[in-house]
Amino acid sequence: MNWIIEDKCFDKDRIICNGNKFLTGNGYMGFRGTMEEFTKSEFTCCNLAGVYDRYDGKWRETVNVPNGMFTTLICEGKELSLLTAEPAEHTQKLDLEHGLHLRKTLWHTSYGDISVTAERFVSLDNIHLTCMKYSVRFEKACKVVIKTGIDSRVWDINGPHFESCDIGTECQSIYAHTITNELKISVEVFERLLFDFNANETIVSSDDGIFREIEINALPNIEYTIYKYVSVYNSNDGVDDIVAAASHDVSQAAKFGYSTCFAAHAKRWKERWNISNIKIEGDEEADIALRYSIYHLQIIAPHHTDQTSIAARGLSGQTYKGAVFWDTEMFLLPFYLYTDPQTARNLIKYRMKTLEGARRKAHEYGFRGAFYAWESQETGDDACSNYNVADVFTGRPMRTYFKDKQIHISADIAYAIWETYEFLGDDSIIVDGGAEVILECARFFYSYVYYKEDKKRYEILDVIGTDEYHERVNNNAFTNKMVYHTFDIALKCAKFLECNYKNEYEKLMDKIDFKDDLENISRVKKNLYIPQPDETTGIIEQFDGYFKHEDCTLEQARERILDVKEYWGGANGIAANTKIIKQADVMLMLYLFGNEYSKTVKQKNWLYYEPKTEHGSSLSPCIYALVACETGNSQWGYDYFMKTANIDLTGESKQFAGSIYIGGTHPAASGGAWMVAVFGFAGLHIVNGEVTVSPKLPKKWERLSFSFIYKGEEYMVDITKTEGRVWKI
């Protein structure tokens, strides 16, 4: 069982990619996998969850904080870094088991060999704390300065986000105190340094930050080690005095020492892995890729709070504005439900908290109920722009419709809340906010639907399905089905409350004045049009008129590309008028409502849509893998599983949409990989409380084993070539 991700050479062109690949974090903050001597030009950043700022009318996004880990070497007056000198040897590692980032670099220099070894972790034990051990060794005697401190040259996509950055010293610590532009949120970074060799320490500060210069007359073959403790707090933390807290944390850490801090951190990781690790035997590549995916799910989740959720690019930076998308509910939630119910609850609570924002959005568009943000930040108001992509040919912003037409977002959230309630069996999810969200989502859809008198049915017009390459379509099968489901659970929800929590029911009905809409929803549900499989072919048309689009192959579409960064969607994109789709759409419907469609229908639609799918979204391959497993084609599913699980390991994903940078990690793919392993290959299903597996292991796999929690009890799953077992432990 492998726990190590490793790169054994240094490649300048992979600096940004490795920043994602070697990410560490703890849900409160993420630290990109960059070298200690890197700064903003290498996209070094410590990204803070849930703290947003807008600067100068640009896109609102999460903030990155000054980098307390910055450390570089100055040997005989010249900086020695990966950016100034080619290394003789270089290794970058991620120890998944302990959430530990490691680097080792050797340079042959005119002053002899010089090596740097560093390890660091973003603590799981104290979410505000980051610790580093940094050692340097010289072959020959050398006059050297270790420059280390807080680098305030912050990498931003739409920054700068701090209207001020005060730096200074306090006792033995140095600090940067920053205040955001828009909401005047204070962000505090404290750094404390320890070392036990003779050196002359000077503190220097400039516009670049505040640094310690540790001058050493280094002797040959002695290891000089420094220990850095950095704490980050912000004024949304619910802590009275964040300066005192930040100062205290680094002092305490320094007092306990690196090993103790690490031990506390490692203990938390052990707890996490105990429940969430999955072992695959017979396929090392799949084994490590899946473990790596789970690692990512662990470092980005708000274990500690229900005030934030998970951004689409996790904590790897500001891509997509650090906003929360439907990814969380549809691709991430299952992992947390099965391994970390409290975090699952937190994710759901975040949507309850942002209900007011969803109401405002519905109202803004002339609807009632809750129209959730396509890109949700702390208030639930939509951070999504009407112009999300730039036209590469004209440089002009392109009108996109993610925000106003991708209405399935409200259905996704309702779906997730109901799933959480059903899985956890916890009434409080419905009673304490869940029902209100579900009903308001249903009300939104009621106010959205139209009645087509001439066809005697309700229709859902002018939407974008999950396939974003086809804009403003009518009766998208997935969307219509999800809306139907929302109506269905809204009625169930109301019934449940009425029967079991009569007082709460009456209070809620009064509060949101819902009785008429309950009738409306019930009536519309009976007559809502949902595209069905064609009687002859079995194919479900993705939306009205999809079949009339040009039948062009992916290869043909690719040949039409004029600019590698051009957007495939939009009104004039190369996919827009063809049958080429961005991602699983009908397929996602067949997965989510799998019990309502026959194996034949699934298989036919898979074969029809699969060659047409570009997988321009990392949310797509896992769904094709899941449906392939359901139709007994797990080997087809295997390739998609590997694509999903490997996405951040290989770094082979789209870096641009139009001319907008969209790089970063892909949590939804990580969640999708987990889903494929658990629901696809192991075939884990829970129906009416009965837990079963129906294994469909890929050929190579000898064994697949994992555990999960269901209604407070831990289960083990063990699948071999010959049998599949699931049992309570």
Q: Which residues bind a copy of itself (CB under 8 A)?
A: 366-368, 386, 391, 393-394, 396, 398-399, 446-447, 449-454, 459, 461-462, 472, 474, 520, 524, 544, 560, 562, 570-572, 576-577
* Secondary-structure breakdown of the chain: helix, strand, coil percentages, each rounded to the nearest 5: 35, 25, 35
Q: How far apart are CA 376 and CA 25, in angstroms?
A: 21
Q: How far apart are CA 230 and CA 233, in angstroms?
A: 10
| Smallest separation, CB 486 to a copy of itself (Å) | 16
| Smallest separation, CB 56 to a copy of itself (Å) | 19
Q: How far apart are CA 333 and CA 345, in angstroms?
A: 9
Q: Which two tokens stand for residue 407?
A: 């209405």
C-beta separation of 282 from 703 below 8 A: yes
Nearer to a copy of itself, 30 or 569 (CB): 569
| Smallest separation, CB 530 to a copy of itself (Å) | 17
Chain length of the chain: 729
The DSSP result for 443-460, as a single string, is: HHHHHH-EEEGGGTEEE-
Nearer to a copy of itself, 352 or 576 (CB): 576
| Smallest separation, CB 433 to a copy of itself (Å) | 25
| Smallest separation, CB 571 to a copy of itself (Å) | 3
Helix or strand or coil: residue 79?
strand
C-beta separation of 172 from 179 below 8 A: no
Q: How far apart are CA 595 and CA 729, in angstroms?
A: 29
Nearer to a copy of itself, 133 or 452 (CB): 452
Q: Which uninterrupted H or E stretch holds 113?
A: strand 112-122
Q: Which two tokens stand for residue 648?
A: 């951040």
Nearer to a copy of itself, 552 or 576 (CB): 576
The DSSP result for 499-527, as a single string, is: HH-HHHHHHHHHHHT-HHHHHHHHHHHHT
Nearer to a copy of itself, 575 or 726 (CB): 575
The DSSP 8-state label assigned to residue 594 in this structure reads G
CA dihedral sign, ordered 542, 547, 550, 555:
positive
Nearer to a copy of itself, 235 or 447 (CB): 447
Q: Which two tokens stand for residue 727?
A: 């049992």
Nearer to a copy of itself, 153 or 360 (CB): 360
Which residue's entry shows tokens 């007559």? 527
Q: How far apart are CA 497 and CA 515, in angstroms?
A: 13
Q: Which two tokens stand for residue 284?
A: 């090392």
Nearer to a copy of itself, 461 or 491 (CB): 461
Nearer to a copy of itself, 197 or 450 (CB): 450
Nearer to a copy of itself, 104 or 452 (CB): 452
Q: How many CB atoms neighbour CB 723 within 10 A?
A: 9
C-beta separation of 706 from 278 below 8 A: yes
Q: How far apart are CA 283 and CA 699, in angstroms?
A: 10
- Whether 468 sits among the annotated catalytic residues: the reply is yes
Phi/psi at 418 (5° precision): -65, -40
| Smallest separation, CB 468 to a copy of itself (Å) | 14
| Smallest separation, CB 366 to a copy of itself (Å) | 8
- Tell me if the bond preceding 87 is cis, omega within 30° of 0: no
Helix or strand or coil: residue 593?
coil
Please list, in sequence order, all residues whose beta carbon lies within 8 angstroms of the beta carbon of residue 559, skipping any fewer than 6 positions away: none
Nearer to a copy of itself, 197 or 451 (CB): 451
Which residue's entry shows tokens 């099968």? 477
Q: How far apart are CA 543 and CA 474, in angstroms?
A: 6
Q: Which amino acid is at 68?
A: G
Q: How many CB atoms neighbour CB 438 within 10 A?
A: 27
| Smallest separation, CB 438 to a copy of itself (Å) | 19
| Smallest separation, CB 454 to a copy of itself (Å) | 4
Nearer to a copy of itself, 207 or 453 (CB): 453
| Smallest separation, CB 660 to a copy of itself (Å) | 15
C-beta separation of 644 from 673 below 8 A: yes
Nearer to a copy of itself, 472 or 492 (CB): 472
Q: How far apart are CA 230 and CA 232, in angstroms?
A: 7
HEC secondary structure over 410-443: HHHHHHHHHHHHHHHCCHHHHHHHHHHHHHHHHH
C-beta separation of 119 from 200 below 8 A: no
C-beta separation of 236 from 51 below 8 A: yes
CA-wise closest residue to 627 among 668, 585, 666: 585
Q: How far apart are CA 153 and CA 165, in angstroms?
A: 11
C-beta separation of 567 from 389 below 8 A: yes
| Smallest separation, CB 520 to a copy of itself (Å) | 7
C-alpha to C-alpha distances, 477 to 433, 467, 589, 612, nearest whole angstrom:
29, 11, 8, 17
Q: How far apart are CA 175 and CA 154, in angstroms?
A: 15
Catalytic hit among 61, 119, 375, 468: 468
The DSSP 8-state label assigned to residue 329 in this structure reads I
| Smallest separation, CB 608 to a copy of itself (Å) | 22
| Smallest separation, CB 574 to a copy of itself (Å) | 8
Active-site positions read 468
